[in-house]
């Protein structure tokens, strides 16, 4: 059915986040892997909110790509145009590829994700926002999804006396996917740590200035409630990154920016182009899902290369999440499990070490330079 490719074909992996780094590593032995990534380091953004509250975490969330691949190479550039079989980089270089893996993820407003390609510049931006946050008495967080809730927990764990308000137009926190019991438990804990939660409310007009900058302001909700704060952050707005798709691939781009894939994670209508992680339609945007999909993509490309085996398929698991509120609080739910995950389990899985260890291992960071932590399971 499938034709065997020549020995060691080229696999171009576009994007070196959770999805792309995993695929690249898993295919390093079997193919000529070329990983295209504009950032000078892998960013473990799952811990980005912790690093805002406690910048001593910064060295633990940016890992250079030097130790990721033994045979393959990492090209520090951005794909500006990707069509089936060919990748064009922003600096003009063209990479012909037998297989292409789209793993360009999603953008999210700072501080949840970084829009800077240089680690030094990203550290400086976080340090500046940390200093502004430290000096602010009142904090307004727009959006009470997992990011807003987690950020409220990080801020109050570091500065218990700050006045933190979460506001969201939805009727409840965390979005639609998760269980009412989980939302109720997180709301209870937020109230216990003094976070104000304003649901079913939105601002009549956005706050002035940029997020993460110090400056007192007053805004009004559409129902007339006045809120005064010294700093604000935008905690909503995940945006899949797929603007580079061209030619026959452009048709797979959905109106929301995600790339439509089959259960085999092949881009719809394509044989040798795959997409996974936040940029693909296979599942919700979670690093855990990206990791599981990476194993499927790597197995399927290996099956093509060897001409052996059937294509594996990705099946999205039932909704699961761990929501830390600082290093020790929070709750979670696991698919197929009735009982909520209590704070101690959430701390063990994520809150305490923010899952740093597994990425130290993936990126091949020398152990002597590695921080100590325990392993966890992404939500």
- Phi, psi (deg, nearest 5) at residue 108: -145, 140
Cβ proximity to ligand FAD: between 82 and 136 the closer is 82
63 near ligand FAD, rule: CB under 6 A: no
From 189-197, 279-287, 330-338, 356-364, give the range in contact with ligand FAD by CB under 6 A. Answer: 279-287
Pick from 25, 162, 334, 350 the residue near ligand FAD by CB under 6 A.
350
Q: Quick check: 214 and 231 in contact, CB under 8 A?
A: yes
From 130-138, 157-165, 193-201, 278-286, give the range in contact with ligand FAD by CB under 6 A. Answer: 278-286
From 14-22, 58-66, 188-196, 262-270, give the range in contact with ligand FAD by CB under 6 A. Answer: 14-22
290 near ligand FAD, rule: CB under 6 A: yes
194 phi-psi bin (left φ>0, alpha ψ -120 to 50, beta other): left
Pick from 23, 41, 45, 74 the residue near ligand FAD by CB under 6 A.
45
Residues of span 236-265 touching ligand FAD by CB under 6 A: 241, 244
Cβ proximity to ligand FAD: between 19 and 305 the closer is 19
Pick from 25, 113, 123, 292 the residue near ligand FAD by CB under 6 A.
113
Least Å from the CB of residue 292 to ligand FAD = 10
129 near ligand FAD, rule: CB under 6 A: no
> What is the chain's Cα-based Rg?
21
Residues of span 168-227 touching ligand FAD by CB under 6 A: none
Q: Burial-class residue 18 by CB neighbours within 10 Å (0-12, 13-18, 19+).
A: buried
Total of residues contacting ligand FAD (CB under 6 A): 38
Spatial separation of the C-alpha atoms in residues 80 and 203, rounded to whole Å: 37
Residues 114-118: contacts with CB within 8 Å, 24+ apart?
Answer: 114/39, 114/43, 114/45, 114/48, 117/38, 117/39, 117/40, 118/39, 118/40
Pick from 79, 102, 301, 362 the residue near ligand FAD by CB under 6 A.
79
Spatial separation of the C-alpha atoms in residues 222 and 52, rounded to whole Å: 30
Q: For 366, how many CA atoms within 13 A lie in the half-sphere containing its CB?
A: 3
Pick from 9, 11, 37, 356 the residue near ligand FAD by CB under 6 A.
37
Pick from 60, 100, 104, 236 the residue near ligand FAD by CB under 6 A.
104
From 46-54, 123-131, 185-193, 365-373, give the range in contact with ligand FAD by CB under 6 A. Answer: 46-54
Q: Quick check: 333 and 341 in contact, CB under 8 A?
A: yes
Orientation of helix 180-192 relative to helix 146-158, angle to 10° = 30
**Is residue 140 classed as helix, strand or coil in its secondary structure?**
strand
Largest CA distance in the chain: 67
The token duo for 377 is: 């399971």
57 near ligand FAD, rule: CB under 6 A: no
Partners of 151 in beta bridges: none
Least Å from the CB of residue 379 to ligand FAD = 4
Cis peptide before 111 (omega within 30 of 0): yes
Q: What is the DSSP letter of 277?
A: G
Least Å from the CB of residue 61 to ligand FAD = 11
From 38-46, 202-210, 216-224, 358-366, give the range in contact with ligand FAD by CB under 6 A. Answer: 38-46
12 near ligand FAD, rule: CB under 6 A: no
Which residues of the shown chain bind ligand FAD in the complex (CB under 6 A)? 14-20, 36-39, 45-46, 48-49, 78-79, 103-106, 108, 112-113, 147, 241, 244, 277-278, 285-288, 290, 322, 350, 378-379
């Amino acid at each position: 059915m499938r034709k065997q490719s020549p020995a060691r074909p080229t696999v171009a992996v576009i994007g070196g986040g959770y999805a792309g780094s995993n695929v690249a590593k898993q295919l390093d032995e079997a193919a000529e892997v070329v990983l295209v990534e504009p950032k000078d380091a892998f960013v473990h953004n799952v811990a980005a909110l912790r690093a805002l509250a406690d910048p001593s975490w910064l060295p633990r969330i940016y890992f250079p790509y030097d130790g990721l691949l033994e045979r393959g190479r990492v090209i520090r550039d951005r794909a500006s145009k990707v069509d089936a079989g060919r990748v064009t980089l922003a600096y003009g270089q063209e990479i012909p590829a037998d297989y292409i893996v789209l793993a360009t993820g999603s953008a999210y407003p700072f501080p949840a994700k970084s829009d800077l390609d240089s680690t030094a510049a990203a550290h400086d931006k976080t340090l500046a926002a940390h200093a502004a946050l430290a000096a602010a008495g009142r904090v307004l967080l727009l959006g009470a999804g997992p990011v807003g809730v987690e950020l409220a927990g990080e801020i109050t764990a570091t500065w218990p006396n700050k006045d933190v308000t979460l506001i969201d137009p939805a009727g409840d926190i965390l979005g639609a996917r998760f269980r009412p019991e989980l939302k109720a438990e997180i709301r209870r804990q937020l109230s216990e740590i003094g976070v104000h939660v304003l649901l079913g409310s939105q601002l009549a007009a956005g706050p002035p200035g940029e997020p993460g900058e110090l400056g007192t302001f007053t805004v009004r909700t559409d129902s007339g409630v006045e809120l005064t704060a010294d700093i604000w952050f935008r905690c909503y707005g995940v945006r899949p990154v797929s603007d580079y798709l061209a030619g026959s691939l452009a048709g797979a781009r959905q109106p929301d920016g995600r790339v439509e894939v089959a259960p085999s994670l092949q881009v719809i209508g394509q044989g040798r182009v795959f997409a996974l992680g936040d940029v693909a339609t296979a599942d919700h945007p979670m690093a855990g899902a990206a990791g599981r999909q990476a194993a499927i993509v790597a197995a399927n490309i290996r099956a093509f290369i060897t001409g052996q085996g059937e294509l594996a398929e990705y099946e999205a698991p039932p909704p699961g999440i761990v929501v830390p509120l600082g290093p020790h609080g929070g709750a979670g739910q696991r698919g197929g499990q009735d009982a909520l995950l209590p704070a101690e389990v959430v701390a063990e899985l994520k809150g305490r070490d923010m899952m740093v260890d597994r990425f130290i291992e993936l990126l091949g960071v020398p152990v002597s330079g590695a921080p100590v932590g325990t392993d966890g399971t992404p939500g």
